[in-house]
Structure 1
């Protein structure tokens, strides 16, 4: 009995521990998302300054507010990093950032936390001014906005790819890039191009429909040690799934111990109230043992 009581207490403790783990893992279900705004269909080089904004939002589980640290990754193709001007700005002016470059990739990480606070159903916005040198003829850039918390844990990430054209090429329609063109369905004959048309007829310029190219992971280093660990992931076997699995196992173990203890208690009660066997009854054999007094 003592052993089973100890096992029962141990099962109750495990069940409570499982509930605590589930409660701790529940805040990780809060959803964070990042959006890039202010992006044109394509950038024009030569003095045009564009303001690009990165907005992070929080929905889902309630909780306290968190501070945000922004990091923007810039990747260039067909142009150089020194042909790009990128500044982090706030309402009060320029915002201090730490710049790291590696090849054709640059990372701008805020030296300070963003002035805003990210609360449930609220947003925090970062603004960047982007311009290109006038000697750029044609190229492509990829922007990746990353929002981190105060402990440098990645909250959300959003990427976007845009084409950069020179000032002279902005007035003429540009041919679509071959690597982003959509292939024709099987069995459909390809449409004739403008170069194959009759010289006597005016050739219709191709429609400039830019499709975002494949997202490439920047090769720049993380802003600091510990960064890049997402709080919540949509795929894979993460900490939340492991906590739920462990909680289910502990809960099953606790229920099994409770059922086993209940059966043992019932068996003990049945043995306690059952009549003793006949061979253990105390009393005289063959009648009363007392002597009857005789009066003379």
Structure 2
């Protein structure tokens, strides 16, 4: 008996799960519309839950019940950092959560919505969405689907919001005081760049100052001293040369002994 009871419980659980999950959303039924009427533009991590509201309308004359299903896809935060609660006027509404892959979770109502969808009458689903304190920045996409009691997709819609992380991302992005370079370590920038002012004269360096302190050796400064010394030496040499020439000339004019010529003519024998 115990084995039969356990087997019966397992079969009932499988059947219940099959009935809860909607069928494939391969097509929509004309005459129905689903809109996300309330959605925050930005969710802030650790700031509490925000309300997401989905409304279904119908143009058909026949009324019918609705079962809601919501896909939540995150890019940046993790799925385990998202807090979701399906609520109605009397409190929380039971849902079934399954992992749809690619950072996506699917939240489906276990029961049909208390309201009834008719022409001129809407059915509303509300969700409380929040993110943990340590959730990362990114975005979250919501895709809401409305099914009838026969698990046929009536209509769907989607929208997206931003997720702003808390101090963890700000601390990682902003550099720490120790990592910032000190004024002595940072290379000084030149006061006057070449691109800023082409006519600006550069400030003299130490080498330029040393060169400027040495007097220039131009022709006007060195020529008088060398010319005066050259003239004096030249004058002395010219004087000695002229004296030597006069002395040689005087010696050449003096008669030599024993070589004087006769002063008269002698008759020839």
Q: TM-score normalised to the size of structure 1? A: 0.45
User: Which structure is richer in relative contact order (CA contacts within 8 A, separation 6 or more)?
Assistant: 1
Larger radius of gyration, structure 1 or 2?
2
Question: What is the TM-score normalised by the length of structure 2?
Answer: 0.50
